Amino acid sequence: MSNRQSIELTDDQIDFGMREALAQARIAGSVGEVPIGAVVMHEGQIVGRGYNLREHAQDATLHAEIMAISEANHTLKTWRLSDCQLFVTIEPCPMCSGAIINARVGAVYFGARDPKAGTVRSLYQLLEDGRFNHQVEVHEGIMAEAASGLMQTFFKAIRLGRGKPKPRQH
Protein backbone atom coordinates (compact mmCIF):
# COMPACT_ATOMS: atom_id res chain seq x y z
CA MET A 1 0.00 0.00 0.00
CA SER A 2 1.38 3.38 -1.01
CA ASN A 3 1.70 6.23 1.44
CA ARG A 4 1.63 8.81 -1.35
CA GLN A 5 -0.62 11.78 -0.81
CA SER A 6 -2.25 13.33 -3.85
CA ILE A 7 -1.24 16.97 -3.86
CA GLU A 8 -3.27 19.06 -6.26
CA LEU A 9 -1.61 22.17 -7.64
CA THR A 10 -3.05 24.54 -10.20
CA ASP A 11 -1.36 24.94 -13.58
CA ASP A 12 -0.32 28.44 -12.49
CA GLN A 13 1.33 27.08 -9.33
CA ILE A 14 3.17 24.43 -11.35
CA ASP A 15 4.34 27.03 -13.88
CA PHE A 16 5.44 29.34 -11.06
CA GLY A 17 7.41 26.58 -9.33
CA MET A 18 9.22 25.52 -12.48
CA ARG A 19 9.94 29.11 -13.58
CA GLU A 20 11.57 29.67 -10.19
CA ALA A 21 13.60 26.45 -10.52
CA LEU A 22 14.73 27.58 -13.99
CA ALA A 23 15.78 30.95 -12.49
CA GLN A 24 17.93 29.06 -9.98
CA ALA A 25 19.42 27.00 -12.83
CA ARG A 26 20.34 30.20 -14.67
CA ILE A 27 22.16 31.44 -11.57
CA ALA A 28 24.15 28.20 -11.48
CA GLY A 29 25.06 28.52 -15.15
CA SER A 30 26.08 32.16 -14.73
CA VAL A 31 28.69 31.18 -12.14
CA GLY A 32 30.03 28.27 -14.19
CA GLU A 33 28.09 25.49 -12.48
CA VAL A 34 26.01 22.87 -14.27
CA PRO A 35 22.69 24.74 -14.68
CA ILE A 36 20.34 22.78 -12.46
CA GLY A 37 17.96 24.59 -10.13
CA ALA A 38 15.37 23.57 -7.58
CA VAL A 39 12.75 25.08 -5.30
CA VAL A 40 10.57 23.61 -2.57
CA MET A 41 7.05 24.94 -2.25
CA HIS A 42 4.72 24.70 0.74
CA GLU A 43 1.15 25.98 0.53
CA GLY A 44 1.99 27.85 -2.68
CA GLN A 45 5.02 29.64 -1.22
CA ILE A 46 8.69 28.96 -1.88
CA VAL A 47 10.36 27.77 1.32
CA GLY A 48 13.63 26.52 -0.16
CA ARG A 49 15.82 27.37 -3.15
CA GLY A 50 18.95 25.81 -4.51
CA TYR A 51 21.28 25.52 -7.44
CA ASN A 52 24.37 23.47 -8.08
CA LEU A 53 27.47 24.71 -6.27
CA ARG A 54 29.64 21.63 -6.26
CA GLU A 55 32.48 23.12 -8.35
CA HIS A 56 32.71 26.32 -6.30
CA ALA A 57 32.64 24.53 -2.96
CA GLN A 58 34.40 21.37 -4.16
CA ASP A 59 31.65 19.48 -2.33
CA ALA A 60 29.99 16.61 -4.18
CA THR A 61 26.81 16.97 -2.11
CA LEU A 62 25.96 20.53 -3.13
CA HIS A 63 23.31 19.68 -5.70
CA ALA A 64 20.32 21.98 -6.27
CA GLU A 65 17.83 19.56 -4.69
CA ILE A 66 19.92 19.05 -1.54
CA MET A 67 20.28 22.80 -1.05
CA ALA A 68 16.57 23.47 -1.60
CA ILE A 69 15.53 20.66 0.76
CA SER A 70 17.96 21.85 3.43
CA GLU A 71 16.66 25.42 3.23
CA ALA A 72 13.05 24.16 3.39
CA ASN A 73 13.89 22.08 6.48
CA HIS A 74 15.29 25.19 8.19
CA THR A 75 12.45 27.45 7.04
CA LEU A 76 9.71 25.07 8.18
CA LYS A 77 11.69 23.83 11.21
CA THR A 78 11.07 20.19 10.30
CA TRP A 79 12.83 17.48 8.34
CA ARG A 80 9.49 16.11 7.12
CA LEU A 81 8.36 17.77 3.89
CA SER A 82 5.37 15.55 3.13
CA ASP A 83 3.13 18.51 2.40
CA CYS A 84 5.72 20.12 0.10
CA GLN A 85 6.49 19.98 -3.60
CA LEU A 86 9.99 19.97 -5.08
CA PHE A 87 10.47 21.53 -8.51
CA VAL A 88 13.74 20.69 -10.24
CA THR A 89 14.88 21.38 -13.77
CA ILE A 90 16.58 18.01 -14.41
CA GLU A 91 15.66 14.54 -13.19
CA PRO A 92 17.27 13.87 -9.79
CA CYS A 93 20.34 11.65 -9.37
CA PRO A 94 20.60 8.76 -6.86
CA MET A 95 21.85 11.00 -4.03
CA CYS A 96 19.09 13.54 -4.52
CA SER A 97 16.42 10.87 -4.91
CA GLY A 98 17.56 9.44 -1.58
CA ALA A 99 17.32 12.87 0.05
CA ILE A 100 13.83 13.36 -1.42
CA ILE A 101 12.69 10.04 0.03
CA ASN A 102 14.34 10.68 3.40
CA ALA A 103 12.79 14.16 3.62
CA ARG A 104 9.39 12.61 2.83
CA VAL A 105 8.79 15.15 0.03
CA GLY A 106 5.18 14.84 -1.12
CA ALA A 107 5.62 15.48 -4.84
CA VAL A 108 8.39 16.10 -7.35
CA TYR A 109 7.96 18.05 -10.58
CA PHE A 110 10.91 17.89 -12.94
CA GLY A 111 11.73 19.21 -16.38
CA ALA A 112 13.98 17.02 -18.50
CA ARG A 113 15.13 13.45 -18.00
CA ASP A 114 18.77 12.63 -17.30
CA PRO A 115 19.53 9.41 -19.21
CA LYS A 116 22.97 9.04 -17.59
CA ALA A 117 22.15 9.64 -13.92
CA GLY A 118 18.39 10.07 -13.48
CA THR A 119 16.79 7.81 -10.90
CA VAL A 120 13.19 8.99 -11.06
CA ARG A 121 12.35 7.67 -14.54
CA SER A 122 15.47 7.08 -16.66
CA LEU A 123 17.66 4.49 -14.92
CA TYR A 124 15.46 3.62 -11.93
CA GLN A 125 12.15 4.70 -10.46
CA LEU A 126 13.34 5.21 -6.89
CA LEU A 127 10.73 7.75 -5.83
CA GLU A 128 7.81 5.42 -6.52
CA ASP A 129 9.46 2.17 -5.41
CA GLY A 130 7.13 0.49 -2.93
CA ARG A 131 10.03 -1.19 -1.14
CA PHE A 132 10.95 2.13 0.47
CA ASN A 133 9.04 3.45 3.46
CA HIS A 134 7.95 6.53 1.49
CA GLN A 135 6.84 7.02 -2.09
CA VAL A 136 6.69 10.34 -3.89
CA GLU A 137 4.16 11.59 -6.41
CA VAL A 138 6.07 12.29 -9.66
CA HIS A 139 5.30 14.69 -12.52
CA GLU A 140 7.75 14.95 -15.40
CA GLY A 141 8.22 17.05 -18.50
CA ILE A 142 7.42 20.41 -16.89
CA MET A 143 9.05 23.04 -19.15
CA ALA A 144 11.39 20.28 -20.34
CA GLU A 145 12.57 22.17 -23.43
CA ALA A 146 13.72 25.16 -21.37
CA ALA A 147 15.47 22.91 -18.85
CA SER A 148 17.26 20.80 -21.45
CA GLY A 149 18.09 23.93 -23.46
CA LEU A 150 20.01 25.38 -20.49
CA MET A 151 22.00 22.16 -20.21
CA GLN A 152 22.71 21.95 -23.95
CA THR A 153 23.87 25.56 -24.09
CA PHE A 154 26.12 25.09 -21.05
CA PHE A 155 27.80 21.93 -22.30
CA LYS A 156 28.18 23.32 -25.83
CA ALA A 157 30.07 26.27 -24.33
CA ILE A 158 32.30 23.85 -22.40
CA ARG A 159 33.05 21.89 -25.58
CA LEU A 160 33.89 25.10 -27.41
CA GLY A 161 36.21 26.19 -24.61
CA ARG A 162 34.06 29.11 -23.49
CA GLY A 163 32.76 27.57 -20.30
CA LYS A 164 34.33 26.82 -16.99
CA PRO A 165 37.54 24.83 -17.48
CA LYS A 166 37.64 21.28 -16.26
CA PRO A 167 39.40 20.79 -12.92
CA ARG A 168 42.96 19.50 -13.14
CA GLN A 169 43.50 15.80 -12.57
CA HIS A 170 45.84 15.03 -9.66
To the nearest 10 degrees (0 to 180), the angle between helices 11-30 and 144-159 is 10
For residue range 129-157, list pLDDT tens digits in order: 999 999 999 999 999 999 999 999 999 99
The whole model's pTM is what? Answer: 0.92
For residue range 13-50, list pLDDT tens digits in order: 999 999 999 999 999 999 999 999 999 999 999 999 99
What average pLDDT does the chain have?
Answer: 93
Phi, psi dihedrals of residue 140, rounded to the nearest 5°? -120, 165
Q: What is the pLDDT of residue 8?
A: 86
Q: How many CB atoms lie within 10 A of CB 162?
A: 8
- Of 2, 6, 3, which Cα lies nearest the Cα of 139? 6
CA dist 95 and 121 (Å) reads 15
Q: What is the pLDDT of residue 56?
A: 94
Higher pLDDT, 30 or 164: 30
For residue range 63-96, list pLDDT tens digits in order: 999 999 999 999 999 999 999 999 999 999 999 9
Please state the rounded mean pLDDT for residues 155-163.
Answer: 84
Q: What is the pLDDT of residue 161?
A: 83
> Where is average pLDDT lowest: 6-15, 46-55, 110-119, 156-165?
156-165
Whether 96 has a binding-site annotation, put simply, is: yes
Residues marked active site are found at 65
CB burial class (10 A; 0-12, 13-18, 19+) of residue 12? exposed
- Of 115, 119, 71, 72, which Cα lies nearest the Cα of 95? 119
